[in-house]
């Protein structure tokens, strides 16, 4: 298994042309990267075109969301099977923007996780506390509740396929990442939870950090114990920022 999973969450950015341009730029500058897996998650509409660019490379392509039903009268939704048929292996679920703006609950995220696992794909399950939660000293309580509910009925065997992304909501898109000590404590808390819930595989589940990861803080963040990668928003939209983060991960392997 790779030591680091570096993922770009493009959010609702890029159209077909600029997505192709961004993916091409990443392709051109990506060096040999043993021990690091690189994943990019464009908007649905651009996934097919991005695959055209990164085909025959080691770059992985994923989606940013899905619906849990297989098909039917769910206007505007995209099923896991549809995403799988494009060739994606990963789907981000439970991003704080989806929780906050689209009212997604842990129960819904759990249904999506099962649907993804049943299809043989890997869910990147995002969790994280708000600033109010943190100030009130509730960080661990929130993380525990999100983990408990979103991982409901997932078996130890299935847990091999999941990735957890710890993203403190207050660090997303703000330019201010969490402090190293806060990251270390949260990742340790998550690791302990996973090991307890999944005695066989919990130790090996990748835990990414997300929230204002940039080239100048990537080294210290990726060096923290139990940080197995990064989920990157803003900096993943620029080749000159995304590539140095991947190279930093490579230098730490
Ligand atoms: P950011 O976003 O890197 O722009 O803070 C991270 C995320 O939302 O996954």
Q: What is the pLDDT of residues 200-242, one digit of tens each?
A: 999 999 999 999 999 999 999 999 999 999 999 999 999 999 9
Q: How far apart are CA 30 and CA 56, in angstroms?
A: 13
Q: What is the rounded distance in angstroms from the CA atom of residue 236 to the CA atom of residue 8? A: 5
Q: Residue 227 has which token pair?
A: 């940080």
CA distance linking residue 241 with residue 31, whole number of Å: 15
Taking the chain (253 residues) in runs of 10, the rounded mean pLDDT of each run is 89 98 96 88 98 93 98 98 97 97 98 98 98 95 98 98 97 89 97 98 97 96 97 98 96 93
For ligand 1, mutation pick of 234, 236, 241 (most atoms within 8 Å of CB): 234
Q: What is the pLDDT of residue 83?
A: 98
> How far apart, in whole angstroms, are the C-alpha atoms of residue 10 and residue 95?
12
213 Cβ inside 6 Å of ligand 1? yes
Residues 241 and 128: their CA atoms lie apart, in Å, by 24
Percentage helix, strand, coil for the chain under 3-state DSSP, each rounded to 5: 50, 15, 35
Q: What is the pLDDT of residue 2?
A: 63
Task: Say how many Å lie between the CA of residue 12 and the centre of ligand 1.
Answer: 12
Which DSSP helix (H) or strand (E) runs through 61? strand 60-63
Ligand 1 neighbour 162 (Cβ under 6 A) = no
pLDDT of residue 31: 82
Report in angstroms the alpha-carbon separations of 42 from 10, 20, 197.
Answer: 5, 10, 32
Distances (CA, A) of 21 to 53, 56, 69: 9, 17, 33
pLDDT at 29: 93
- Indicate which atom in ligand 1 lies nearest the CA of residue 231: 9
Q: What is the pLDDT of residue 1?
A: 52
Determine the atom of ligand 1 nearest the C-alpha atom of 174. Answer: 5
Active site residue 220: no
* 37, 104, 161, 167: the active-site residue: 167
Which of 233, 236, 237, 242, when mutated, tests ligand 1's pocket best, judged by the most ligand atoms within 8 Å of its CB?
233
Write the residue with the smallest CA distance to atom 7 of ligand 1: 233
Residues 6+ apart with CB under 8 A from 112: 66, 67, 68, 80, 91, 93, 94, 123
DSSP string, 209-227: EESS--HHHHHHHHTSTT-
Q: For residue 126, which atom of ligand 1 is closest to its CA?
A: 9
**Pocket lining: 234 vs ligand 1, CB cutoff 6 Å:** yes
The model's pTM:
0.97
Pocket probe mutation, ligand 1, options 40, 124, 211, max atoms within 8 Å of Cβ: 211
Name the residue with tokens 């506390």. 129
114 catalytic residue (yes or no): no
Q: Which of 95, 104, 129, 187 is catalytic?
A: 95
What is the pLDDT, as a whole number, of residue 176?
Answer: 84
Query: What is the rounded (10 degree) CA torsion for 198, 208, 69, 80?
Result: -110
């Amino acid at each position: 298994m790779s030591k680091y999973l570096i993922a770009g969450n493009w959010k609702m950015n890029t159209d077909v042309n600029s997505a192709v341009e961004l993916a091409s730029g990443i392709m051109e500058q990506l060096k040999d990267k043993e021990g690091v897996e690189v994943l990019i998650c464009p908007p649905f509409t651009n996934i097919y075109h991005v695959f055209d660019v990164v085909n025959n490379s080691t770059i992985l392509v994923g989606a940013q969301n899905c619906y849990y039903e297989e098909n039917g009268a769910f206007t505007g939704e995209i099923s896991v099977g549809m995403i799988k048929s494009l060739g994606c292996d990963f789907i981000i679920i439970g991003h704080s923007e989806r929780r906050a703006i689209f009212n997604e609950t842990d129960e819904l995220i759990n249904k999506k996780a099962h649907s993804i696992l049943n299809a043989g794909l890997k869910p990147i399950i995002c969790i994280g506390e708000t600033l109010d939660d943190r100030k009130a000293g509730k960080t661990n309580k929130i993380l525990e509740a999100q983990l408990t509910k979103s991982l409901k009925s997932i078996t130890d065997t299935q847990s091999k396929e999941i990735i957890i992304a710890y993203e403190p909501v207050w660090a997303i898109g703000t330019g201010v990442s969490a402090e190293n000590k806060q990251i270390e404590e949260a990742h340790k808390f998550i690791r302990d939870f996973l090991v307890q819930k999944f005695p066989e595989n919990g130790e090996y589940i990748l835990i990414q950090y997300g929230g204002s990861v940039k080239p100048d803080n990537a080294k210290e963040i990726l060096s923290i114990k139990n940080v197995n990668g990064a989920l990157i928003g803003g900096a993943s939209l620029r080749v000159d920022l995304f590539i140095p983060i991947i190279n930093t991960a490579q230098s730490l392997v």
